[in-house]
Amino acid sequence: MLKIAKACFVVSGVLLIVDSILMILGKPNPLGLPLPCPITLIVLGAGLILFVISKK
């Protein structure tokens, strides 16, 4: 479970960087979603939950 949490952190980190670049450039999200993208926040939240569960 810790490996899945780490993978979620890496994916969400990359997505957050892409979201911030799009916000700086003033371009809309290609998926039509608001920035920061809800998918990014869901992946980050899932990674945090899995990390906490795996540490117990």
With a threshold of 0.85, does the pTM exceed it?
Answer: no
Residues belonging to the chain: 56
CA distance linking residue 10 with residue 39, whole number of Å: 14
Q: Across residues 10-21, what is the average pLDDT?
A: 90
DSSP per-residue letters across 10-55: HHHHHHHHHHHHHHHHTPPPTTSPPSSPHHHHHHHHHHHHHHHHHH
Angle of helix 2-25 relative to helix 38-55, nearest 10 degrees, comes to 150
- Position 39 scores a pLDDT of 87
Q: Across residues 39-48, what is the average pLDDT?
A: 91
Closest CA relative to residue 31, chosen from 39, 42, 23: 39
- pLDDT over 90 (residue 34): no
